[in-house]
Structure 1
Amino acid sequence: MIMKKILTLILCLVFTINCVQASFKEHYDAGQIYLGQYQYSSAISEFKKALRINYMDNSARIGLVNSYLARGTFYANTDKNYEAAANDFRAALFYLKYYPDDKEVQRSIGSIENTQKNLAKCLAAINAENSPDARYKMGQKLRLKGQFAEAGYEFAQSFDSQRYRASAYEQIGDIMKILGNVEKVPYYYKKAVDINGNIADLRLKYARALDKQGLNDQALKEYNYALSSGDDDPETLYALERIYRQKLLQNENDATSLSNLGAILQKQNKLDEALKYYVMSDRIDPENVTNRLNMGTLYQQKKNYDAAITIYDSILVLHPNNLNVNLYKAQCLALKGDIDSAKTAFKQVLYLSPNESVKSEIFNTLKNYMPLDDLVTFVYGSSSPKKQDLENIYDDAVAFHKNGKIDKAIEYYKEVLKYDKQNPEVYINLAIAYNQNKDFASAKSILNEAMSKYPNNKQLKDVLASVNDESNGEVIGKALSLYNSQNYQQAISVYSSIQPQTFDSLVGIATCYKALDKDDAAIEYYKKALNLKQNSDVAYYLGILYADKQDYANAKTYLNLAVKLNPSNNDAKEFLAEVTQNGDSALLEEGIDYYGLNNYEKALSIFNRVLQSSPTNAYALYYRGLIYDNQKKYSLAVADYLKAVKLNPELKIAYYLAAVDYDSLSQYKNALINYRKYISVTTESNEYKTYAQSRINALKKYE
């Protein structure tokens, strides 16, 4: 069981409080009052405020420790809230063991040991993991919650973690900074740097901590490391500028500080002021090669290439093999347009150091001044560019491409493919560039070459399809222009150049043949187009062509298809109705002709065809009724007669014929009804009316 009695070992230590600020005393006194009244949370808050005002005041620190211990003991023994108790014991241990100096830590050994035991019991009660990695992760969680002291203690327990050790020291440094303990901040950052000194951000933190304590020389070392990593952070540059200016206030003839201040100002793009300090440094120490080199780069930055070359030459007199000076001079010669002299200078650079980074520098300088083939030969000689060099050339190609320099991009993509054909992306970008230049043949050629190597590459397939579409669009536009100029045969030739044939090219050819009145050829190509893509308009055009040929059956087939594919195709709907009517009329006449020849079988077949497409065709029904009469199929005949006269009242003879058939069927009542109907609609006298009247008289008994 955790002891109920509040740890008082620290309270017995008495300190004299010399209050520099009234607010410190107010917070400290309030903390003591709250602690005496067992208001531990309020006491903790007040002691923290006091420490923020005077972070090294031991009385406030001890008051804070006792408040955490008291509340932690209450949480453990009264509330049984072991997690909250653990956090308070962690905070107490942080302020006992890590926050103060070593002397104070030694004076608190007994309290530290007792508190560690109490914390261990709480951690056991909540089954907390105790490995160094687990303690680090707990520290992260606590820090995110703003429980900094608690987190700091947990980070300290992960010092044995190989994975997190450096980060743990860095995290405690951050926490010390947050809590205002400026003396401890650089101590923990240095621990982290000693373990892993390659992290620029960490070195920058360390530099700022040293700077804050006025440790300028140490801070300079760390700031310079951060700058050397490529981080021209404005805050860092300002800090370095301030430090060097302070040094110059102490010694205005410090050539090194003058030169370094010039370098910092140059990085801040304060070129004129930087030059002033370089010149001052050079007067004091003219043998400082670095200072003179910086002067040269400044003139180069200002594009005063002649002045830069003069500076570089002055260095080369004494140091002819200085790689950087030779390189910068060659760059200036190239930038001022003296390419021959630049090439000579670059040859010297390659002689001094033929490494890849130097070659890359030379390549980047000369790429805007030399043809690519010549440049590659100049830089790499007879050997092939290395993988990294090819990647750089490819990056240049992409940059040219993005900036709209298509011809230059094509040149560079092709150069990459000379040495490396293993990257489908290069083929794709080259094809896109060709396509942008409307060089569709080259685009297709390079894509087909790539497809032979990577047949399953979806992106290659998509780009090839896109190139084909755009290429075909150009051809179709040309053909359409010829069509509009009535050069139909030439338009057909242009459309036919698209291979494989597409829906649009086939429709174009068909349209041209239609304009040439070559309907059979037009039908052929419209059908080919329809096979590639079911299209309502094409089906409609086929319907028109077949109707013109009076092939109403095929016309109706394609017009029906047009309506099926697009129910909103009103032109097809209207023309289908017209074709249906025209087709039925032609068939009806043919059927009547066969009827007149007594070829009832053929006539019946034709009338059935008419009625199949137009069930309400009254004349087809009438003539089919006549055929049924001849075949003595009186019931069928009567049905057709009555339908016909209902659809077309002008066929009043149908009432008479129906009545006669009803007579034949001995259906006298129905016969009487239809005789009377015939009499009622017939005004003129004829033999049918006379016979009908006689039958009415004879059949009156069936009323």
Structure 2
Amino acid sequence: MRTWFAAIATFVFFVPAAHAQPASPDWNTCRSDTAKPAVAIAACTRLINGKKFKGAELANIHLMRALTHVQDNDDVRALPDFNQSIQLNPRVGSAFRLRGGLHWRREDRERARADLGRAIQLDPKDRQAYLWRGLILQEEDKDEDAIEDFTRAIELDSGLMDAYRGRAISHHALKDNTKAIADFSAMIERAPKDVRGWAGRGEMHLNERNFESAVADYTEAMKLEPKDADYVYNRGNAFLDLKEYDKALADFDQAIKLNPKMATAYSNRGTVFLQKGDLDGAIVAYGEAMRVDPNDPAYPLKRAIAWEEKGDLDRARADYDHAIKIEPVYENYMVRAAFFLKRRDYDRAIADVDQMIKVRPDSVDAYDYRASLRIEKNPNDFDAALADLTQAIKIAPKNAGAYYNRAAMYRKKRDLDRAIADYDEAIRLDPDFAFAHNDRALTWRDKGDFDRAIAGYTAAMNANPKDPAYSRHRGEAYLMRGDLDRAIGDFTESIAIAAHARSHYLRSQALLRKNDPIAALRDADEAVALDTRSAPALMSRASVMRALKRPSDAITDYRKALSLGPDKEDRSAIEAGLRELGAKP
């Protein structure tokens, strides 16, 4: 039948047998699938104006003319005919379904759903009505309801591929790719020549990072439709994620051959070249993407990265500027701010964050970022940094992270009481905020309150038992308090979670204080092995060497530690140790 939804709908005319009319030229033309729309409409009009038909028969003719108007893209004339058909015979469910389809095409989803609901009431086995209503619900992001309708359509007709596909898409929208894959697999099983099943399942495999399966499915899709650039391109993406760069490049080249205006294929060629270390090739490919689509800022941003890696900072800066000129949005200013930060051009970085705030004045992250930049530019600019962090709290007073960030700034400033107050608020808002528990404990330790520090570390360990830092920090507090057994126990627990040089050399110190230099040496050796550039690890081993009466080894470790540029406090301790051993610093 002549409808815009003919591919998925079959309309059966309702003509009561008692009133069936003998064939006539106008009757046949009005019903014809092959007549030109204007000819068919004229025939239907003559039948209507002849006033020979009434009731259901006349309703049918109006319905036929409505469908022909739809075929002729004349929705304005189609709607009155649908209305008249339904008024004359309100018991035909398919008429409501078809008028619902017209409302859907006109984007009047509310009326469309109402008509389709009425169609289902009149004919509970109308699979197309369930299918169409499901598709409308899907457009309205009501995917759970859509799935119910798709499921009912499938129960009525297990060969309705559009219903499987629709349900798969809704499952994907609800982040259930397993069920989406199952529906696309059902399509493939029932209609292996329907490319949408292979392509849809390939996309789901890409989303699930099942790249080998994605390659297999897109390969099948390409066999069915070898000239579809999208399938070739998507297989290229799967190869790219598999790091099979030559195959990915071949697919992107083929996609470009099939669709020379596919800018993303040029861009992904650039990514392949970048991964292969071919910066010149990447720059050329990103330039081609920019030529094909000059209005997408992603391509100059990507080329800027290639210019940076090549060391051409002026051209990198020009591409960052160009991206912002195309689209002066928050994210693009943020990327350029990071570029300036790497160059230690703090003023320009801060200026870009100013623009981020201008574009998105309610961004807590932007104020946090600007605060950190102010401190990097001037480590003593606490007032300006704290003003930004306070503004972040005003924007989001229930954001535990905002209080945590300001607490960290107060701690840097050595305003420990205000830091603790902010950590308290962060923990009140988020009792399982492990970082806040840990850092509040560090602050209590800075104040010399080891009991509260230990309690805080314990809370951090309870909130996140898999982080080795918290047990290590508690061990340090026990070590500073002189509780060597508990300190050793915590360092051992930390090492069991993840080996770390600091945990080993701290346990070494505790063991040395317990007069076990042999065990202490094992830990000190392990600490140095884990981090050969750790001055504290070398210092710790030097202390063990002294206890073992091995002064020359101690001197060697002290001098290695000194060569690593330790901080002022460690440098003084190293120099003192060398002097005690009769060696020059």
TM-score (norm 2): 0.39
Bigger Rg, which one: 1
TM-score, length basis structure 1: 0.33
